[in-house]
């Protein structure tokens, strides 16, 4: 095992929403990957997770990236931009250029870098005509950065399994526990590390929902999740305003 330290950088996807521990904090794919790497590397393995829900790309670059670089890890995961594509202020040219730059900076330290093509989350959300082209643009940039810098790319977009609603939480935006297990399995596979085969099993699709029941579910979702999201946008707030990184320092996985 060549990795003795792993730092995860990003937003809610990497923080682990919606895959809760019993105490209500979030686990997610990065914790699962770290636990598996620690089992291979032994007690000297160290892990930090700097990701915070709601963070936009500029904030991640300004705050998390310098912290991660200072830790000098062997392995870094960098997933950012998912929140930006949902904003009207989305600046694709700047984000793509900065994304490539950041991957290059991490690789220049000698670290292995894991980056992601995002899954098609818009299949069950409004605004698909506006947002989907932005996601596709970001995903192309991820592929180009991986090729240019020799990063390890995990292509969630190419995996149609993520069209299965059981892989997503009740807010339809964040992965469920099953979704995070699948991502963890794909990351470990990309790293050449074995994982629990159960993580990659495809859960059955739920039975079709009658039209009226589906519309009622859509209305409940809009009230419980879409309306609060819109309110935060209008008031300039974020779901992560009062949240700090769950593992801000490199430490043993047992911490």
pLDDT 10s digits, 30-76: 999 999 999 999 899 999 999 999 999 999 999 999 999 999 999 99
Mean pLDDT of 164-192: 94
pLDDT 10s digits, 72-113: 999 999 999 999 988 888 998 999 999 999 999 999 999 999
- Within a domain: 244: no
Same domain, 47 and 143: yes
Domain count, the chain: 2
- Indicate the pTM of the whole model: 0.92
Same domain, 148 and 231: no
Residue at which a domain ends, from 156, 182, 201: 201
The lowest-confidence range among 150-154, 157-161, 222-226 is: 222-226
Residue with tokens 């991957």: 103
| CA 207 vs CA 39, 120, 160: distances in Å | 38, 21, 18
Same domain, 138 and 229: no
Same domain, 70 and 180: yes
The packing angle between helices 128-149 and 92-108, to 10°, is 30
- Within a domain: 252: no
Q: What is the CA radius of gyration of the chain?
A: 18
Contact status, residue 18 vs residue 170, Cβ threshold 8 Å: yes
Same domain, 31 and 88: yes
What is the pLDDT, as a whole number, of residue 127?
Answer: 65
Residue with tokens 């060549």: 2
Residue 226's domain spans which residues?
207-237
Assign 247 to helix, strand or coil: strand
- Within a domain: 247: no
CATH of the domain at 187: 3.40.50.1110
| CA 211 vs CA 101, 121, 163, 166: distances in Å | 47, 22, 19, 19
- Within a domain: 249: no
Same domain, 185 and 231: no
Residue with tokens 């098609």: 120
- Within a domain: 54: yes
- Within a domain: 82: yes
Which strands, in side-by-side order, build the sheet including 46-49? 152-155, 112-117, 75-79, 5-10, 46-49, 247-251
């Amino acid at each position: 095992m060549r990795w003795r330290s792993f730092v995860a950088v990003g937003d809610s996807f990497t923080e682990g929403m919606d895959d809760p521990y019993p105490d209500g904090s979030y686990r997610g794919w990065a914790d699962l990957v770290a636990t598996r790497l620690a089992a291979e590397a032994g007690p000297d393995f160290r892990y930090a997770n700097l990701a915070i829900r709601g963070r936009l790309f500029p904030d991640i670059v300004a705050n998390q990236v310098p912290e991660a670089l200072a830790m000098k890890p062997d392995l870094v995961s960098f997933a950012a931009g998912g929140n930006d594509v949902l904003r009207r202020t989305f600046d694709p040219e700047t984000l793509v250029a900065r994304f490539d730059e950041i991957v290059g900076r991490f690789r220049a330290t000698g670290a292995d870098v894991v980056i992601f093509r995002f899954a098609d989350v818009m299949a069950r959300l409004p605004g698909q005509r506006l947002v989907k082209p932005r996601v596709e643009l970001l995903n192309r940039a991820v592929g180009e950065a991986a090729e240019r810098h020799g990063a390890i790319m995990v292509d969630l977009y190419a995996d149609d399994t993520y069209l299965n609603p059981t892989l997503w939480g009740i807010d339809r935006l964040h992965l469920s526990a099953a979704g995070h297990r699948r991502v963890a399995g794909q990351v470990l596979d990309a790293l050449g590390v074995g994982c629990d085969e159960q993580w990659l099993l495809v859960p059955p699709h739920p039975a079709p929902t009658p039209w009226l029941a589906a519309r009622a579910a859509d209305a409940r979702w809009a009230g419980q999740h879409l309306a609060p999201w819109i309110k935060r946008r209008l008031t300039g707030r974020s779901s992560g305003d009062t949240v700090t990184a769950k593992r801000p320092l490199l430490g043993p996985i047992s911490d």
